[in-house]
Structure 1
Amino acid sequence: MSGGVGPTGSDISLPKEEEEKEHHHNADLKTPNPYSPRRFLTFRQLNALAVIIVFAASGMVSPEDFAFTIFSPFYVFFLSKIAFPSLTSTPYPLVFGENNKLLSLYVWIGALIGLFLPIGYIFEGIFEGDKEGIKAAAPHVFLLSSQVFMEGVTNSRRFSLPIRVFVPVFYNSKRIFTIVDWLRSEIGKVDEEFGSWRRLHIGRGLAIANLVFWSFNLFGFLLPVYLPRALKRYYGYKVKD
């Protein structure tokens, strides 16, 4: 989702611009490799890192979610060395077409539902004094921002296709539980205790929308579609070598 979102399209695929570079590289060896050394952090990763730092410093993120985020880079690196090492110094074949407009729309819907609207909801809660609403929504935004950051890290020829798929699957699975907790908190609210009537229903609507979207993303797209295709490309490339 990388919203997002991230270099894998918010749980999905590389951004269009990265895919186009990858395609041009395959067509013309003189074109620069999109996975060649580049600046350490992209603008998208810097934004995600800023959100991570702000939420972590605010105390709105539980120790369990913070530990999950700290643990994930080490585990991703472990898998990239032991289970799914990169087999080539050149880009892997694309999993999806480079001009898939429907996929691009899906990515931006995920970014809107998963990041932009919840962040706006949290900022409004600061002014309305809805501490419970902020606390319930914060873990999802924190983890999704962490996912965007990690997707940027794995968007490199040093990481294989299965590793790039693992990051959104790993984080999406974790975020389902935080969204369920968010929805429970919103349903348990009483109008006069937690801000305006409008905010109450917006919070419930956002929590439901995120639960539906990311549940479909995990069980309807990542696991049955994206993961099998990525593994097929990875092991097919291995057989060719």
Structure 2
Amino acid sequence: MSGGVGPSGDISFHKDDSHEADVGSAAGRPPRVLGFFSFRQLNSLAVVVVLSASGMVSLEDFAFVLFSVIYMYFLSKVAFPPNSPTSEPPVFGPKNRILGIYVFIAAVVGLYLPIAYIFGGIFEGDKEGIKAAAPHVFLLSSQVFMEGISFFGGFSLPIRVFVPVFYNSKRIFTIVEWLRSEIYKAESEYGGSLRRLHVGRILAVANMAFWSFNLFGFLLPVFLPKAFKIYYGNRKVKD
């Protein structure tokens, strides 16, 4: 999931898919496929279903995901149609080690640790902490799933860029709410351990820093220009 972490913004759930992670499927080689969906997509879909069934996801977040699907197809038809029937080449090569490390860090900071934090909150009765962290995990998992759709659905490269940028921008606001909840959580009224209180704050700050850099330091100034250069370069050659 690049989570917009990276080019296409997905974060990888498996070592074999690490180059496609948060940084995005548009950035690396195509993910392994099981039928139409990749293993990464199925994992992210499972997280989405579990969080949705738990009642921790707001109607606004559901509406955002639905809107992203509709708008993605709209852009594909109106603004950025595919240059060819086959999928366009990725922006970054599959053997980019720095990108692979970046994607791995994104997966750990953005998904693995927050999911562990949510499960820990269930055992410690930290309902406030779970409620604050859940929207970020839900949207990031939805982003990973949508990135797979944009890749396997034959969408153009700009559409594959749209997904991580769109979701990363939205998740910045959910992380701000998570950070505010953790910082203003009164220790005297906190039901969980003091250690969990500090872990929650550190985790929220880490996600705020990482995803802000991912959006403003990677996706917008680096990935987006490269993707458009490839897309319009191919269109010019075709014309």
Listed one character per residue, the Cα deviations across residues 189-230 of structure 1 (whole Å, up to 9, x for unaligned) are 122432111000100000000000000000000000000000
Question: Which residue of structure 2 aligns with residue 18 of structure 1?
Answer: 30
Query: What percentage of aligned pairs have identical amino acids?
Result: 64
Task: Name the aligned partner's letter for residue 203 of structure 1.
Answer: G
Task: Name the aligned partner's letter for residue 155 of structure 2.
Answer: F
Q: Does the C-alpha gap of structure 1 residues 208 and 112 become closer, same or farther in structure 2, counting only changes over 3 Å? A: same
Q: Which of 163, 167, 171 matches 1:167?
A: 163
After TM superposition, what 4+ stretches of structure 1 lie above 4 angstroms from structure 2? 13-17
**5+ long unaligned stretches in structure 2:** 3-9
Whether 1:70 aligns to 2:66 is yes
Q: Which of 5, 8, 12 matches 1:5?
A: 12
Residues 62-141 of structure 1: matches in 2 within 5 Å?
62-141=58-137
Q: Does the Cα contact within 8 Å between 1:12 and 1:226 map onto a contact in 2?
A: no
Question: Which residue of structure 2 aligns with residue 203 of structure 1?
Answer: 200
Q: Quote the Cα distance in structure 1 between the aligned partners of 2:153 and 2:56.
A: 35
2:37 alignment partner, SS class: coil
Task: Name the aligned partner's letter for residue 116 of structure 1.
Answer: Y
Q: Quote the Cα distance in structure 2 between the aligned partners of 1:44 and 1:102.
A: 20
* Structure 1, 96-105 or 206-215: larger mean CA deviation: 96-105
Q: Does the C-alpha gap of structure 1 residues 111 and 60 become closer, same or farther in structure 2, counting only changes over 3 Å? A: same
Shift of 1:106: 0.1
**5+ long unaligned stretches in structure 1:** 20-33
Question: Which residue of structure 1 aligns with residue 186 of structure 2?
Answer: 190
Q: Does the Cα contact within 8 Å between 2:28 and 2:92 map onto a contact in 1?
A: no
Shift of 1:99: 1.2
Q: Which of 146, 149, 153 matches 2:149?
A: 153
Q: Quote the Cα distance in structure 2 between the aligned partners of 1:240 and 1:121.
A: 50
* Structure 1, 165-174 or 1-10: larger mean CA deviation: 1-10
Q: Quote the Cα distance in structure 2 between the aligned partners of 1:209 and 1:53.
A: 25
* Structure 1, 223-232 or 92-101: larger mean CA deviation: 92-101
Normalising to structure 1: TM-score of the pair? Answer: 0.88
Question: Which residue of structure 2 aligns with residue 27 of structure 1?
Answer: none
Q: Quote the Cα distance in structure 1 between the aligned partners of 2:207 and 2:51.
A: 19
Shift of 1:45: 1.0
For these two proteins, the number of residue pairs brought into alignment is 225
Normalising to structure 2: TM-score of the pair? Answer: 0.88
Q: Quote the Cα distance in structure 2 between the aligned partners of 1:234 and 1:16.
A: 16
Listed one character per residue, the Cα deviations across residues 116-148 of structure 1 (whole Å, up to 9, x for unaligned) are 000000000000000000000000000000000
* Structure 1, 230-239 or 72-81: larger mean CA deviation: 72-81
Whether 1:225 aligns to 2:222 is yes
